[in-house]
Amino acid sequence: MKRDTPNRGTADPGLVARLSDDAFKVQRYFPTLIFTLEVPDSENLNAHLIDEIYAERERDRAGVSKSNFPELGSWHSHVKLHKDAAFGGLVEYVDAASAMMCRELGYHRSYQLTIGTMWSIINPPGAVNRAHIHPGCIWSGVYYVQAPRNSGRIEFIDPRTQNLMSPVEYIPDTKRPRICWTKVKYKPVAGKMLIEVVPENWTGG
C-alpha cells in the first residue's frame, strides 16, 4: 500500500461491518527494545566517576566533536574510557547488564556482548546532543552520572525505514497504540542505565 491509498475502512463503514473480529488478526514482531537498570549504590560510584570525568576533561580540554555541540559548551571525551581502570566499576555494571540481557534474549552461552566504545559527555545548561546513530553496534546505552533538575530528556526515535521515509498521518488529539509511537522520551536519572537495540536515533538535553 502506498501513502496515498484511501482509508477505505473509514470512508465505507459497511466494508468493516462485513469483517468479523475473528477474521482480522494482528501479530507483533521485530520490536525495538529498551532495557533499564537501576545501579545499586550508585551514589558512591557516581562520586568517583564525576572526579574521573572532570579530571579527564582537564587532561583533554578540547575533547572531540561527535553528536555534541562544543560551541554550546558541550564536552565529549575520547571513546576508549572502558580501557581505563578508573572506569572499571562502571564497566562491571555494563558487563553484568549485558549478561542479563543475553539470558533474557536467549543468546547462546558462547555469544558475549562486549563494550566497543565508551565515552563521557558534559553538557552545561542549554547544551544538547543531536539525533544520531551508532553504526557497527548491536546495542548501545547511556548511564547518567549526574542529572540536575531541568536536564531535559533523552529521546529515542523510531528507526524503522517506513517511518523515516514516509511517515503516517494519525487522527489528531487521539491516543495512539504504543506500537505506533514514533518517539519515546526518558527523564535522566542519576544512577540509571538505558540500553537499546540499534540502529537508533538519540537526542538529549
Please say whether the beta carbons of 141 and 202 come within 8 A: no
pLDDT in tens, 136-189: 888 999 999 999 999 999 998 888 777 778 888 889 999 998 888 888 999 999
CATH no. of 31-204: 2.60.120.620
Q: How far apart are CA 43 and CA 25, in angstroms?
A: 48
List the domain boundaries for the chain.
31-204
Half-sphere exposure of 107 (CA within 13 A, CB side): 13
Q: Backbone dihedral region of 41: left (phi > 0), alpha (psi from -120 to 50 degrees) or beta?
A: left
pLDDT in tens, 45-72: 999 999 999 999 999 999 999 999 999 9
Cell, residue 176: 495512539
78, 84, 87, 91 alpha-carbon torsion, rounded to 10° = 100
Q: Which helix (H) or strand (E) holds 92?
A: helix 88-105
> Which residues pair with residue 196 across a beta bridge?
34, 140
